[in-house]
Amino acid sequence: MRYCVFDLLYLDGRDLRDEPLIVRKAALERLIGPAGSDSRIRYTEHFDQDGRVILKHACGLDLEGVVSKLREAPYRSGRSENFIKSKCHNAQEFIIAGFTPSTAEPLAVGALTVAVHDNGALRYAGRIGTGYTRKTARDLWRRLKNIETKRPPMPLPKDERRKDVIWVKPQLVVEAEYRGLTHGNLLRQASYKGLREDKPAREVVREVPVATMAQRQVVRKSAKPVAAKPNMAAKPSGSRPKSPKSVRARPSAEIGHVHLTHPDRIYWADVGVTKEDLAEYYVSVWDWISPHIVGRALSLVRSPEGVGGETFFQKHVAANVKS
Q: Is residue 14 part of a domain?
A: no
The answer to whether residues 275 and 181 belong to one domain is no
How many other C-beta atoms lie within 10 A of the C-beta of residue 262? Answer: 14
Q: Is residue 255 part of a domain?
A: yes
Q: For residue 87, what are the contacts with CB-CB under 8 A and spacing of at least 6?
A: 64, 65, 207, 209, 210, 233
The answer to whether residues 256 and 303 belong to one domain is yes
In this predicted model, what pLDDT tens digit does every residue of 31-51 receive, in sequence order?
988 765 667 888 888 988 888
Domain ends where: 208, 231, 259? 208
How high is the pLDDT of residue 186? 84
Q: Is residue 17 part of a domain?
A: no
How high is the pLDDT of residue 167? 95
Rounded to whole angstroms, the Cα distance separating 58 from 64 reads 7
Domain ends where: 193, 208, 223? 208
Mean pLDDT per 10-residue interval, the chain, length 323 residues: 92 95 94 74 87 84 84 86 79 92 89 91 90 92 94 84 87 88 78 89 76 36 36 35 41 74 72 74 83 83 76 73 50
Number of domains into which the chain is organized: 2
Q: Give kind and range of the element (H or E) at residue 139.
A: helix 134-145
The answer to whether residues 249 and 191 belong to one domain is no
Q: Is residue 41 part of a domain?
A: no
- Which residues pair with residue 154 across a beta bridge? none
The answer to whether residues 102 and 147 belong to one domain is yes
Q: Is residue 191 part of a domain?
A: yes
In this predicted model, what pLDDT tens digit does every residue of 146-163 receive, in sequence order?
999 999 999 988 767 778
The answer to whether residues 258 and 203 belong to one domain is no
Rounded to whole angstroms, the Cα distance separating 196 from 232 reads 13
Q: Is residue 286 part of a domain?
A: yes
The answer to whether residues 96 and 194 belong to one domain is yes
The answer to whether residues 115 and 200 belong to one domain is yes
How many other C-beta atoms lie within 10 A of the C-beta of residue 187? Answer: 22
The answer to whether residues 99 and 193 belong to one domain is yes
The answer to whether residues 250 and 204 belong to one domain is no
Rounded to whole angstroms, the Cα distance separating 265 from 258 reads 16
Q: Which domain holds residue 177?
A: 91-208
Strands 3-5 vs 41-43: parallel, antiparallel or unpaired? parallel
The answer to whether residues 169 and 253 belong to one domain is no
Q: Is residue 22 part of a domain?
A: no
CATH at 127 = 2.40.50.140
The answer to whether residues 157 and 264 belong to one domain is no
Q: Is residue 302 part of a domain?
A: yes
The answer to whether residues 188 and 249 belong to one domain is no
